[in-house]
Homo-oligomer: A and B are copies of this chain.
């Protein structure tokens, strides 16, 4: 599949955009007119740069407000088009995007529009330019893809085809059935964008909130399958207007974009998505888009371990001991690495000392360094990750150790692919241990996300680990709303709430690799146990610094749920918070924070599937008070 990206997706100068697209691995770009207008580089220089970089210039866009106008205006428009055709010749671009008229159309007469398209086609033919006519969702008269196609068909001109843009089509909820009516060679261009499900005016939605495929709410596999069925063989191009991408790191956004296309391509390469129920399955001619699969990955079976880095080993391991974790041993070949277990909850603690850093990353406090995911085929998961452009974690490994490979997530944490096939993982023996005692496991891991890489993170976990984005939620905190997005596997064995802190300027914890920062939102590991009160009693007896829960909370709890007063008292005495839904109950307590990490101990009763969302503001407020005390 030939991949392309509109320069408007990326930040920076036109030169920076081209370099980033090429570096990520795109085959081509669409030149967004304004990027050229503001550039000091001549069209010839841009064309030369593209040649050097080995990318094609696939499209010049947009040309606006041509058709459906009075003759005098149309003649002016043709002149305007001609000057752009001349410019395109200098750029070496043979396809122009023509958007349906938004601003100046006055004549809602198909005959006039068809005739004007045809005349544009004649002019374009002199410059060997193809015109891809696209229905904008907010076009004055033409706003549906199939209407644009009807007009193109009626124009019946070799230089006039259509452009399909998933945003303009899916945002209007138009029936997709007619896509396959269009012969593939009359689709002159294809643009893809995903979008979150928002209820707002379509223009604002389009201009600010588009995202890359896999980062939104739409089924682009189905969409692309239908396009493939037409025989279309041109580039599949991203056109994504997104406020965050426009101000993000250019190279990073380009990688994110290409990852989305590779993932999407693979999703239909093997298993063409079914069309709408009742329709015949569209046939995918294998030759058309030349779709490349990826090594397949199944959903992870669980979190094998979490690795914490610390320069405060005493405080961290004391807290883990208080929570019932047992020290197992030091890694046989890494003298600064310890293993702690609580049943199947495994925490690797890497001590980072000033003298002997075990890592090349900058050292700062205690932070979550990485997660080991249990996958059914670790080798192909790693191959897939590499093809999805994830950066591999450099690893110092002695040849006797189990080969664990991993990549960096967008938040800088390390994602390791651990082979799922035995009760006790082989690597545990490297710490001299091979049996479990308590019934306990890692229930979920709560990760802080840099605010501008939220969508990238969703795609990352979706495409590399086959996790699913649940609905997102805003959690009030004293310093603003925290956006929380749970990524999980279907059976819930892997659950990761991703949290975007409201304070991008707050102090950063620069512990993680690849220079990224964890913002001032603490992360945590939630450990499931069988008996929360037993765990709390142990913790209490060992002197755990519980996160304090206000009396007001328990009073409110009493009014919300009809709880036995003794039970309520037991909750309060043990600093345990409580939630309930129609499926079951959730009991949990939090520890104080060390560096940027704390723990949560939880007990799920029945089939409660949530995370105690009503309690999150209580936790955030308590942590805010603790921070304020520290800085006072």
Contacts and interface: CB of A to CB of B under 8 A. Distances in A.
A80 interface: yes
Interface of A: 11-13, 16, 33-34, 36-43, 76, 79-80, 83-84, 87, 198-201, 204, 207-208, 243, 246-247, 474, 476, 478-481, 502-505, 548, 550-553, 555-556, 558-560, 562, 617-618, 620-622, 624-625, 628
A301 B355 CA distance: 68
B624 A13 contact: yes
A39 B621 contact: yes
Contacts of A621: 13, 38-39
Contacts of A38: 550, 552-553, 617-618, 620-622
Given A13-B625, A200-B198, A505-B504, A553 B247 contact: no
Given A243-B480, A243-B481, A624-B13, A39 B201 contact: no
A589 to B, nearest CB: 16
B552 A42 contact: yes
21 contacts: A12-B479, A36-B552, A37-B553, A37-B556, A37-B617, A38-B553, A39-B550, A40-B552, A40-B622, A40-B625, A42-B552, A43-B552, A79-B559, A83-B555, A83-B558, A84-B559, A198-B200, A200-B200, A200-B201, A243-B502, A247-B503
Where chain A touches its partner, the secondary structure class is: helix
B551 A476 contact: no
A36 B190 CA distance: 54
A34 B477 CA distance: 10
Contacts of A11: 478-480
Q: Which 4 A-B pairs have the closest CB atoms?
A: A247-B480, A38-B621, A200-B200, A199-B201
Contacts of A198: 200-201, 204
Number of copies: 2
B247 A552 contact: no
B42 A551 contact: yes
A80 B560 CA distance: 7
Contacts of A478: 11-13, 16
Nearest to A618: B38
Contacts of A201: 198-200
A575 to B, nearest CB: 13
Nearest to A246: B480
A550 B37 contact: yes
A557 to B, nearest CB: 9
A160 to B, nearest CB: 21
Given A40-B550, A246-B481, A481-B246, A476 B13 contact: no
A34 B246 contact: no
Nearest to A559: B83
Nearest to A548: B40
B479 A559 contact: no
Contacts of A479: 11-12, 246-247
B34 A476 contact: yes
Given A38-B552, A246-B502, 4 more contacts: A39-B550, A40-B548, A198-B204, A199-B201
Nearest to A207: B474
A48 to B, nearest CB: 15
